[in-house]
């Protein structure tokens, strides 16, 4: 067992997108054994329960559910920052990916040089002006870089993530505005065609070396829709031609060995779309790999 404190907070929020059920994600993950898994790996595991999301609704300043999301992720930011200050490794359970507004704001407040791995089919680099859907779950990384709506950027009281400290892995559903931003800011991006060509092991070696040269603390935001659509049913924006479970397990085992990971999001599990909670179980098993669980 590792002598390290893990602190878990659930954020049962669905306001960042339009499909019901993702707010049940923290409950589904716990039911799938998330906390018990952590207790097999770490000496101290603290489950802080769930943040109660704001009940505000509707558009504010042109943002769909903007007030509710900002109010809720303000609390996420403060709790993540407090956990890091206490020396714990925070794990935030979503909920849709808009919860990462709070986690990113918390980790960069704690360490302005923090690195970020965005393991996701989508870069989430849209803004209110570029988003085809207007859904805020597609905007958190842009806001984390200081790009987009002022209301979302206001969450980042400790500064913004450095673009050169961001790595996108498994990206394959990229909107035109996101492509432009990636190019303009030189964001290190490993698309699925590149992963297919080079192999996941080589890509992860490259990504780890890239980040290690810049920082010794990395936040990973793990969206379950990163996996191939055939492998995960219980998520709202499935995308074909993604990494397999086996490839993701390898990627996460390599990240665990790197000892760079200092905070984690697990997002977009939707049990109402799932089959017998299988997607939640996959998320639990892969997070275990990310935290150092091995077969021997």
- Which domain range does residue 68 map to? 2-290
Written as tens digits, the pLDDT of the chain (296 aa) is 888 999 999 999 999 999 999 999 999 999 999 999 999 999 999 999 999 999 887 777 779 899 999 999 999 999 999 999 999 999 999 999 999 999 999 999 999 999 999 999 999 999 999 999 989 999 999 999 999 999 999 999 999 999 999 999 999 999 999 999 999 999 999 999 999 999 999 999 999 999 999 999 999 999 999 999 999 999 999 999 999 999 999 999 999 999 999 999 999 999 999 999 999 999 999 999 999 999 98
Burial class of 233 by CB neighbour count within 10 A (0 to 12, 13 to 18, 19+): middle
Under 8 Å between Cβ of 197 and 212? no
Residue 139, in any domain of the structure = yes
- Inter-CA distances, 238 with 242, 262, 295, Å: 9, 27, 29
Whether 296 is in a domain gets the answer no
* SS3 category, 82: helix
Strands (E), 105-217: 115-119, 166-171, 188-191
Please indicate, yes or no, if residue 248 is contained in any of the structural domains: yes
Residue 62 confidence (pLDDT): 76
Give domain status of residue 295, yes or no. no
- Residue 124, annotated as binding a ligand: yes
Locate 39 and state its tokens: 């207790």
Give the Cα separation of 204 and 169 in Å (integer): 9
Tally of domains in the chain: 1
96 is in an annotated binding site: no
Torsions phi, psi for 245 (to 5 deg)? -60, -45
What is the structure's pLDDT at 117?
A: 99
DSSP 85-100: HTT-EEEEEESSGGGH
Please state, in angstroms and rounded to a whole number, the distance separating the CA atoms of residues 191 and 292.
25
pTM: 0.98
- Residue 44's pLDDT is 98
Measure the CA–CA gap between 289 and 33, rounded to whole angstroms.
Answer: 14
Determine how β-strand 2-11 pairs with β-strand 261-267: unpaired
Q: Does residue 105 belong to any structural domain of this protein?
A: yes
The pLDDT score that the predictor gives to residue 1 is 82
Cα–Cα dist 33/40, whole Å: 11
27, burial (CB in 10 Å: exposed 0-12, middle 13-18, buried 19+): middle
Intra-chain end-to-end CA distance of the chain, in Å:
14
Count of Cβ atoms closer than 10 Å to residue 242 Cβ: 24
Examine residue 261 and state whether it is found in any structural domain, yes or no: yes
Per the listing, tokens 């790999």 go with: 289
Do the domain assignments include residue 235? yes
pLDDT at residue number 213: 99
Inside any domain, residue 50: yes
61 is known to lie in a ligand binding site: no
Q: Tell whether residue 120 is among the known ligand binding residues.
A: yes
State the pLDDT at residue 59.
77
Q: Are 105 and 210 in contact (CB under 8 A)?
A: no
Confidence (pLDDT) at 287: 99
What is the model's pLDDT at position 57? Answer: 77
Q: Which residues are catalytic?
A: 97, 120, 122, 124, 137, 223, 225, 268
Parallel, antiparallel, or unpaired for β 261-267 and 218-223?
parallel
What is the CATH classification number for the domain harbouring 84?
A: 3.40.800.10
For residue 45, the model assigns a pLDDT of 99
Would you mind telling me the total number of residues written for the chain in this entry?
296
Residue 223 is assigned to a ligand binding site = yes
Q: Is 228 annotated as a binding residue?
A: no
* Counts of helices then strands in the chain (DSSP H, E): 11, 10
- Note if the bond before 95 is cis, omega within 30 degrees: yes
Q: Cα(220)–Cα(203) distance, rounded to whole angstroms? A: 16
């Amino acid at each position: 067992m590792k002598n390290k404190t893990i602190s878990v907070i659930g954020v049962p929020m669905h306001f960042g997108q339009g499909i019901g059920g993702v707010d049940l994600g923290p409950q589904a993950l716990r039911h799938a054994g998330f906390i018990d898994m952590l207790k097999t790996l770490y000496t101290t595991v603290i489950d802080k329960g769930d943040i109660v999301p704001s009940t505000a609704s509707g558009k504010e300043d042109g943002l769909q559910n903007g007030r509710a999301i900002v109010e809720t992720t303000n609390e996420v930011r403060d709790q993540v920052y407090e956990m890091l200050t206490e020396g714990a490794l925070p794990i935030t359970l979503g909920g849709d990916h808009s919860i990462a507004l709070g986690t990113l704001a918390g980790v960069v407040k704690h360490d302005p040089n923090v690195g970020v791995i965005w393991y996701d089919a989508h870069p989430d680099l849209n803004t209110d002006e570029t988003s085809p859907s207007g859904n805020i779950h597609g905007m958190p990384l842009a806001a984390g870089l200081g790009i987009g709506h002022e209301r979302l950027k206001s969450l980042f009281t400790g500064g913004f993530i450095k673009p050169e400290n961001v790595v996108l892995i498994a990206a394959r559903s990229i909107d035109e505005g996101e492509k432009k931003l990636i190019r303009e800011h030189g964001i290190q991006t490993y698309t699925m065609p590149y992963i297919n060509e080079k192999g996941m092991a080589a890509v992860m070696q490259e990504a780890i070396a890239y980040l290690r040269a810049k920082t010794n603390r990395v936040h990973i935001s793990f969206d379950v829709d990163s996996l191939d659509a055939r492998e995960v049913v219980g998520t709202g924006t499935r995308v074909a031609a993604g990494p397999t479970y086996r490839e993701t397990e390898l990627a996460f085992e390599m990240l665990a060995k790197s000892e760079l990971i200092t905070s984690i999001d697990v997002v977009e599990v939707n049990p109402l779309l799932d089959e017998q909670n299988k997607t939640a179980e996959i998320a639990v098993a892969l997070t275990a790999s990310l935290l150092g669980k091995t077969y021997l």
